[in-house]
Amino acid sequence: MTKCLMIQGTASNAGKSLIVAALCRIYTKRGYKVAPFKSQNMSLNSYTTKENKEIAIAQVLQAKAANIEPTVDMNPILLKPKGESCSQVIIQGEAVGNKDFFRKYDKTKATQKDIDNNLMDDEDYRIIAKEAVIDSLNNLKKEYDIIIMEGAGSPAEINLREGDLANMGAAEIADANVLLVGDIDKGGVFASIAGTFLLLDDADRSRFKGVIINKFRGKQELLCSGIERLEEIIEVPVLGIVPYAENLQLPEEDSASLKEHDWTKEFESNDDHIIIGVIKLPKIANFTDIDPFDTEEDVEVRMIEVHNYQDKIKDVDALILPGTRNSTEDIMELEKSGLADKIRELSNESKIPIIGICGGYQILGNKIYDKDHKESKLDEVEGLGLLDIESEFVREGKIVKQSLATIEIDEESDKDGMFHEIFSKINGEEVTGYELHEGTTNLISANPLFKIEKGIGNNDNDQLDGAYSENVFGTYFHGIFNNYNIRREFLNHLRKGKGLEERIGEDPFETSVENSLEKLANIVEEALDMDYIDKLIFDE
């Protein structure tokens, strides 16, 4: 019989995701078939599974920790914030509508705006969502010995308890014991833990069997008296104090935890390393595309704020415009701040490489058409004009694909260009990625970057993805720099331009993720009372 254990937190970013990943790795190494499960996740970072379904990136990392392929059942409800208190609702991997969680909504009283926004009725949402949670959980139980569940936010949000599917409602469906994680690095950990227990009703409180204090820096002896008093108050044991894990190179879940990459490495001067600027678009999404650069020893990833860009952008060696959940609004913000003109200047005068991914790719073009007003109230907006392409939001349904392509550089027409130099050694090689986009793109005079073997790419018709011209390129492929061949050749081009040594060898990103998971699992296993957790899983 499958056993379920749930990890909940006193607040968002308490460390639930990584504790789940660690437990997945620990029990997998002990020979059990283990799967992660998060019934409801709100995240801007998502991934396409092999079923061509969409789930949160956190469950992909947890599946990797368990050495299994991620599936849609590991995250049956995904909410992607769209702004104005509204989120896109993705049920078992497919977009089914939008939900405003800050108002009660009955479809019998719908306004025309509600209908245009494809807003979901409260009761319809609860029924569909609960059925999906039960179905996905049952599917996992057929295949796995242990399911490590993750909550969302805090179970102490008692105003949301009725109809809850993220925390105690999910624990009730799974009949799971629960461990509560508190983040001591934020301060107030004893109060947040005790307050959580105080606000729960007796039935919910009875599911909590232990507490984990997470992200501790310092001497644990200093906590002893506080832990003794806390255990008296909450009447469950503290199972361990997990130290703050330094230098883990693992994907972040959402923009609230987006790292300030500037702080991760120190260099003597700007001449001894590569500086890659990443435009922190107001509606940035799937920013894990830049994670592989963080594992390169001679690369600084520098986040550049749209309205405070002057100091950080002036000496970058390349610029990346990442994904966004609203490319039309973000290009308008770039224009308003003056950053759009600065990007054009860096491209046209300094000739530094400019890369756009998904929404960032659309922004690089001449125009974005939105006649159905899927993203804004405007029929069309001007792009940066750095690629001779046009994008539009007319296709019905969202493109969600795992994709495969070959690099398609026209060596004759581009023989003197930057991309011939970057890609000539790997022209024709395969690249993988995943697509999550609603817009499509047409090439005017820009050259295609990839020839699609599996997936959609620019549109449904031409089996091509992306575009390049002079020093600018873009693609719909998320995960493009996870392909070591592309990342290596791109960085070596930048290194050559700065007189730095070119690098070859094994992919540091793949090595770092695996090493980080092992390090995390070892830290957690050493810190926690695993005998007690074993009994929670197997003896009850």
As annotated, the active-site residues are: 358, 478
DSSP 462-522: S-EE-EEETTEEEES-BTGGGSHHHHHHHHHHHHHHTTPPP--SS-HHHHHHHHHHHHHHH
**If we measure between CA atoms, which residue out of 44, 159, 169 comes closest to residue 102?**
159
Which residues does 124 contact at the CB level (< 8 Å), separation at least 6?
Answer: 107
Give the C-alpha distances (Å, rounded to integers) separating 359 from 118, 147, 229. Answer: 22, 35, 51
- Is residue 58 within 8 A of residue 251, CB to CB? The reply is yes
**Can you tell me whether residue 107 is helix, strand or coil?**
helix
H or E segment to which residue 178 belongs = strand 177-183
Cβ count near 247 (within 10 Å): 9
> What is the C-alpha separation between 289 and 266, in angstroms, rounded?
22
The residues, any chain, with a CB within 8 Å of residue 492's CB and separated by 6 or more, are 502, 503
Q: How many whole angstroms from its chain centre is CA 175?
A: 29
Give the pair of three-digit tokens for residue 268.
Answer: 């003597």
Q: How far apart are CA 506 and CA 484, in angstroms?
A: 9
Contact predicate 419/409, CB 8 Å: yes
The dihedral through the CA atoms of 65, 71, 74, 79 has a sign that is: positive
Q: Residue 18 is encoded by which pair of tokens? A: 């990584």
CA 379 to chain CA centroid, Å, is 30
Helices 327-337 and 339-348: angle between axes, nearest 10 degrees: 90
